[in-house]
Structure 1
Amino acid sequence: MKLDSRLALMAAFESVLLVALAACGGGGAASSDAQGLAATPAEAAAAEEEAIDKALLTAFDAAEAADGNDASVRAVAKATDNVLPNVRISAGDWVVANKTRSLSGWASDNVAIKRVVWHNTRTGQIGYAALSGITTVASWSVDRIPVALGTNLIYVAAFDAAGNKTRIQTTVTAASRTTPAPAPTPAPAPTPAPAPATAAELSPACKAFYANSFSLVSTLGTTAVPALAKPAKGAATAEPTFKTCLVRGTDYVADGTSGFARNDYSRRQAFNADSTRQLVYSNNGFWHLYDANGHAHLKQLSGPAGDAEPQWHATDPSLLYFIPSNGIGMTLSELNVSTGATRAVGDFAARLKTTWPSASAAWTRSEGSPSADGRYWCFMVENASWGSVGVFTWDRDTDTILGTYNTNGERPDHVSMSPSGKHCVVSSDGALGTAAFSRDFATKTPLLKNSQHSDLALTADGDDAYVAIDYASDKGDVFMVNIRTGVRTPLFSTYLSGSTTALHVSGKAFNKKGWVVISTYAEDGATQWLHGKVLAVQLAANPRIYTLAHHRSGANGYWTTPVASVNRDFTRVTFNSNWGNGSDLDVDAYTVEIPPAALK
């Protein structure tokens, strides 16, 4: 749908919605409370369920009326179609930290998905999602859902043309914070002594870019973003402020990918074992293979689709692991991206059903990774209604389930194996919070009281580290926890002069221990030194911090988030950008390349 059409529909939706809300404002089922008696818990729960369904139906009816659709058509379709649609939430992110949230996912139906709508029970607000099309399978996205401080229970419902509805829910916690006194700008890190910059791991575009005297910029000042025309695909461009080699890796229009060509997530390795291939995600849910050196679009992969959680093999540059979308079927497959051959490497269904008879899906919920060597994996297990039943660890080399953990219905936001393979980290907004378990789940190390943007990395000494932001801390600290010792170390503050920012962490530079990439976005308040940038951050007290690039992506929903991801040896960092044009879909992947010896 074009932007002007969407704006017109939104205006009509708001107008119709006022009428619809007024019409249903005093409605509701009769209860004991209406007769002057206290409602029983069962009656209160039923009334709450009815209110949720009513709000979602109101959103659907208002959007349909705003679009000029007749409800009588729905009644006719209902007579021949009573099959419920499916709906999934695959991603969510802060647009403005602790204020507005984006959500996106997939929906499917036997005939066609007509609408996806949402309702935040905390604020009472409702709205509709943008759909990729009225088809049997469609992606959906919501750019901005306002949230209130505390816990926000957000329902998402998919409707088909007959009015059949399926709803799911997610919890978003917005942390309150105090505004500390303005913090001083961190002192610049000492400039490392110049060293010869080898370019063996750099692409041809950047191979001759760097002089022997090059050093990364460690001055953490607030700098204006200079104008820079969108680079041509594949050409080396000098990042004006930080003097790094910047290459546009995709051109979704010329490459023929659908809607955009972007890096999927910061916690997933975009580059293969030798950084010769790059994985890119398109708007229609398919995965694409690019030549990471010449930047040619090689092919759309056959096999992985949707939330397939692709993971590169640790040593073989041709091999890629993936699961069925959303983990339905509880298998893990291996794809040879050169030959197209696929084989099953893990079939968990029968074994998991022995422990959890209702088990239907095994996945990390899109944010997990195996150990750095690819041997150990951690998955969360859900039933057919997406209720959580447990978590398990698995040894790829012996095809052995090593341990299981009952979640008792508390659904984690995601799970992941630590780089060493010693810990399964379960990240939840419930009572569990974020915690690291041993492979057999015999021991538990608490890491954070809730689930936040984070990643798992290796310290310089080779210990597992949990790196995250703590919005509930006084200064909005980015911090690390050494999982072996449990010691928490603050890295830097984000609440500077009353400002806030959202960010992502990538700890996938397993061959460059002690460093992570952090990309910031969706800032609120006066511009600060860390805003709108891709940063290399040392895992140490008073860390060295180098700025690699301004990402130039104007926040407009989830797809525009930079979600920078680093390769294994920290010579390439890919990120997404709409290059400041404000579009929610005009997004390509860019890569900053730095010499192997640049981080000191």
Structure 2
Amino acid sequence: MIQGRTALTPAALARPRRGESFGEPDSPVCGVRATDHAADGVSGFAVNDYSRREPFNADDSRFIVNSGDGHWYLYDANTLQKLSRLDGPSGDAEPQWHPSDPDTLYYLPLNGGLQLYALNVANDSSRVVADFRGKLPWSNAAHVWTKSEGSPSRDGRYWGFQVEDLDFHILGFIVWDLQDNRLVGSKDVSVRPDHVSMSPSGRWFVSSGFEGVFAYSPDFSVVKRLHTTTEHSDIAVGKDGHDVFVSIDYQSNGGSVFMVDIDTGERTDLFPTYLNGAASAMHFSGKAYDKPGWVLVSTYATQRARDGSLPWYAEQIFALPLQASPTVYRLGFHRSKSNGYWSEPHAAVDRGFRRVLYSSNWGGAGDADLDAYELLLPANGLP
């Protein structure tokens, strides 16, 4: 079942100016262009870099975007004005907002390193909050990171990393307790996964690779298999507070979007995507930790059905409840013509499912001239 009026129809619409709103007159969802990289002197583009990364800070007053030259920029979420180019994070720095302090942003060195930093965005000063040197089981450790797609636990205490040598050969996995500044557990591994992450509760370390998706207890004494291979996915909070892995199963008969309750191991298929020959790529954002039981989905590069029609989910951003036979709530069409990685929408949601940030070239021809757009949901917009 599908509900909701979208903030944007698939019909032609001129690209809005920064701060200009768009949407159907009777829609409860408001769309707005959030950045203008050309006017702000930001190189190439100003985009939300990934669906699994929370772009908004703890009180939704700021958001971050990535630029074409690898710099990170801070924007005011209310005025939509560029505030500063951040001093510290560069390229693939895996920035993560502090869960309660709106001025603190954690980051790693480019492609991971042996220290974790905290940046005060109010005064642009950084400090080391975790130093892994000499504290890991591998003397040749050089890169400690999630390989771009991971997050710490919901409270920011537990961090899961993969550890690699100077040449990016995998050494193993670790879980780090940032509060007590100690190593919780480690595991030697020989197969490099696509990425790793901590679950929101901190109860599970999740590795995702072509060899499968596995959840480990923080001390690595318990392991569960969640899926046979890596696809786009995220880890959300279920309505009951359990950790829920959400992904798509292209090997299943229906190309099902599914969830696995990591705590119980139970799998639930949510909806099929192979509709009369149709198929799609999609991203998931489970960052609405304060709205348990929901995940954000953005679809792109949709393949038409055999009769030439597009499936109901094509090129859209929608809210998906984590339950059997879910009612989908359409939020908007992203209007990004996907020509490469950066023109994928990469829609991400804030902790309260009040704001959505996504990337779009507004029907353009390539990965340049991209900006961030925002969808604003009314209070209690979702049940």
CA distance in 2, matches of 1:404, 1:231: 49
- Describe how 1:65-464 pairs up with structure 2 within 5 A: 187-188=1-2, 216-217=4-5, 225-239=10-24, 244-328=29-113, 330-352=114-136, 355-407=137-189, 409-430=190-211, 433-464=212-243
**Correspondence for 1:528:** 311
Deviations 1:536-570 (A, max 9, x none): 00000011210100000001111100000000000
**8 A Cα contact 1:457 1:467, kept in partner:** yes
**Paired residue type of 1:565:** A
Counterparts of 1:575 and 1:240, CA distance in 2: 21
Look up the equivalent residue of 1:403 and give its one-letter code.
G
Letter matched to residue 161 of structure 2: F
User: RMSD of aligned C-alpha atoms?
Assistant: 1.4
Partner SS, residue 142 of structure 2: strand
Distance in 2 between residues matched to 1:532 and 1:569, nearest whole Å: 24
Are the counterparts in 1 of residues 339 and 367 from structure 2 also a CA contact under 8 Å? yes
Shift, 1:595, TM fit: 1.1
Q: Structure 2: how far apart are the matches of 1:584 and 1:404?
A: 39
Residue 360 of structure 1: how far off its partner (Å)? 1.0
Q: Paired residue for 1:512, among 282, 291, 295?
A: 291
Q: Retained in 2: the 8 A contact 1:569–1:596?
A: no
Give 3-state SS (helix, strand or coil) of 1:253's partner: helix
Cα deviation code 1:477-506 (max 9, x no counterpart): 100000010000011111111111000000
CA contact (8 A) 2:216 2:223 kept: yes
- The correspondence for 1:563, drawn from 343, 346, 351, is 346
Q: CA deviation at 1:217?
A: 3.4
Percent identity, aligned pairs only, is 48
Amino acid at match of 1:455: D
CA distance in 1, matches of 2:25, 2:378: 18
Partner of 2:363: 580
Task: Indicate if the aligned counterparts of 1:246 and 1:593 stay in contact, CA closer than 8 A.
Answer: yes
Contact kept, 8 Å, 2:58 with 2:100, in 1: the verdict is yes
Q: TM-score when scaled to structure 1?
A: 0.62
- Secondary structure, aligned partner of 2:111: helix
Count how many residue pairs are aligned between Structure 1 and Structure 2: 378
Q: Deviations over 1:371-408 (max 9, x none)?
A: 1111110000011111111000011100011000111x
TM-score under structure 2 length normalisation: 0.96
> Which among 534, 537, 541 is matched to residue 324 of structure 2?
541
**Distance between the aligned counterparts of 1:397 and 1:585, measured in 2?**
41
Whole-angstrom distance in 1 between the partners of 2:26 and 2:232: 27
SS at match of 1:520: strand
SS across alignment from 2:134? helix
CA distance in 2, matches of 1:265, 1:515: 18
Larger proportion of helix:
1
How far did residue 447 of structure 1 move?
0.3
Is the aligned partner of 1:481 residue 2:260?
yes
Alpha-carbon distance between aligned partners in 2 of 1:574 and 1:224, rounded to the nearest angstrom: 17
* Distance change >3 Å, CA 578–CA 240, structure 1 → 2: farther
1:385 is aligned with what amino acid?
A: D
Deviant stretches of 4+, over 6 Å: none
Alpha-carbon shift at residue 224 of structure 1 (Å):
6.8
Distance 1:229 1:453 in 2: 31
**For the Cα contact (< 8 Å) 1:370–1:377, is it kept in 2?**
yes
**Structure 2: gaps of 5 or more residues:** none
User: Who wins on radius of gyration, i.e. which is larger?
Assistant: 1
SS in structure 2 at match of 1:359: coil
- Against the structure 1 CA distance between its residues 280 and 224, is the aligned structure 2 distance closer, same or farther, given a 3 Å change threshold? closer
1:468 to 238, 247, 250: 247
* Shift in CA distance, 241/380, structure 1 to aligned 2, threshold 3 Å: farther
Distance 1:241 1:559, change over 3 A: farther
Which structure has more strand as a fraction of its residues?
Answer: 2
User: Which residue of 354, 371, 374 corresponds with 1:591?
Assistant: 374
Structure 1 residue 239, shift from structure 2 partner:
4.3
Which SS does the other structure have where 1:272 is aligned? coil
The one-character-per-residue Cα deviations of 1:186-236 (angstroms, maximum 9, x if unpaired) are: x345xxxxxxxxxxxxxxxxxxxxxxxxxx339xxxx97111111110122
Residue 366 of structure 2 aligns to which amino acid in structure 1? S
**Contact 1:239/1:246 (8 A) holds in 2:** no
Q: How far does the alpha carbon of each residue in 1:98-150 deviate from its partner, in whole angstroms, 9 at most, with x for none?
A: xxxxxxxxxxxxxxxxxxxxxxxxxxxxxxxxxxxxxxxxxxxxxxxxxxxxx
Q: Whole-Å Cα distance in 1 between the matches of residues 24 and 117 of structure 2?
A: 39
